[in-house]
Each structure stands twice: as C-alpha cells, then as structure tokens.
Amino acid sequence: MRRQEAKRREENEIEFARIVAFSDGVFAIAITLLVLSLNVDDLNRDDLWRGIWDLRENFLAYGISFAVIGRFWLVHHRFFGEVTAFDGRLLALNMLYLAFIVLIPFSSQLLGDFGGETPSVVVYAVNLIACIVVGAWMFLYAQGAGLTLAKAESRRASIVRAGYIAAVFLLSIPVAFVAPGWAPVLWLALFYDPADRYLEDRG
C-alpha cells in the first residue's frame, strides 16, 4: 500500500476511542453469539435429560471458544493500550483481524456439532491460527512503523504469547488427523500464560 501520514493518538483521541470501541463491540457480539450454537430446537420433551447430555460436546466447544475469544480480546486490549498513532494500514489489518475473530462462532459450532471429526478440528485450528498470524502481523507492523509504545518487555511477552498459542494450534492439526477427539483437550493448554511467568521471573 501507499505511504500515508499516521495520526497521533493524543490529537485524535475521539477517533481512536471509536476504533477501539468498534473492535470491542465486535468482540462482545462474537463471544455472545457462541450461545446460538447450543440448539434447543432438536430436543424433545420425552427424553430431555438425554438431549441435554447429547449437547455436551457443544458445551465443551462453547467453553473453549469463550476462553479463546476472551483471551484474544485481552491481547488486543493490551496491544491497543500501547498504540500511540494509527494509519490506514493499521485500520485495515485490524479489520482483517476482526474478520477472523467473527468467524470463530462458525468454527465453534462446527466443532460442537461434529466434535470427533478431523475436518471440524482442522477448520477450528486454521481459524485460530489465522487470528494469531494476523494479530502478530498487526503488532509487528505497528512496531516497525513506530505506532506503538510497546516496551521491550511487553514486546517479548507478546511474541512469547503469540508463539505459544500458535504452536498449540499448529500441533493440534496433526493430532486432528490421528485422534480428532483429543485436539480440544490440547487446547486447554491455552489457560497457561507463558508471558506471565516470564514477567514473574524478572520481578
């Protein structure tokens, strides 16, 4: 793309706040739409306990995806907390990033409805890897273009974090072909935050 003057945050606080609020809105809606994958219409009155029990994989997918989108939101949140200027390219990357976040309810429903199948696990993992790759691209672009305040520690923490998450999902793709049912279990590793430990070690 073409060079464009970056707008400084202090001088465009309202515009900046709108970008962040829009992103937050998209995150909040995407995370809430997850509940629509818990489909009540297929249940029947005669065997309600069994019907609810049959939704267990959908509940698991709901829980995983809620944690995943929540975690992405926190990372996005920290990233924009340190952004000091923005240009058209950063906005475009942010939009591309959100486009993959909004896909998660789809991938999540696929995972919930066809939990033990290879395709749903692969689609889910690819979706999340796309989020991480675009997120990292956005971060590195902001670093390179001097749009962020991100201190060295925070930069390293972000890279450790993104790398860790991406590795978990990449690893789950071969697992999906051998034992698709185990891939989601692997994703529980996401609750662990290597960057927190990193900060602690220094403290």
Q: What are the residues binding a copy of itself (CB under 8 A)?
A: 1-5, 14-15, 18-22, 24-38, 40, 43, 45, 48-49, 52, 62-63, 66-67, 70, 73-74, 77, 81, 88, 91, 95, 98-99, 102-103, 105-106, 109-110, 113-114, 117-120, 123, 193, 196-197, 199-200, 203
In this complex, which beta carbon is closest to a copy of itself, that of residue 58 or of residue 142? 58
Contact criterion met (CB below 8 Å) for 26 and 69: no
How many other C-beta atoms lie within 10 A of the C-beta of residue 178? 9
Contact criterion met (CB below 8 Å) for 38 and 66: no
Helix, strand, coil percent content, the chain, rounded in steps of 5: 80, 5, 15
In this complex, which beta carbon is closest to a copy of itself, that of residue 67 or of residue 170? 67
In this complex, which beta carbon is closest to a copy of itself, that of residue 30 or of residue 128? 30
Q: How far is the CB of 82 from a copy of itself (least distance, A)?
A: 10
Q: How far is the CB of 54 from a copy of itself (least distance, A)?
A: 12
Closest C-alpha among 106, 101, 100, 128 to residue 184? 128
DSSP annotation of 103: H
Q: Looking at this protein, which amino acid is placed at residue 30?
A: A
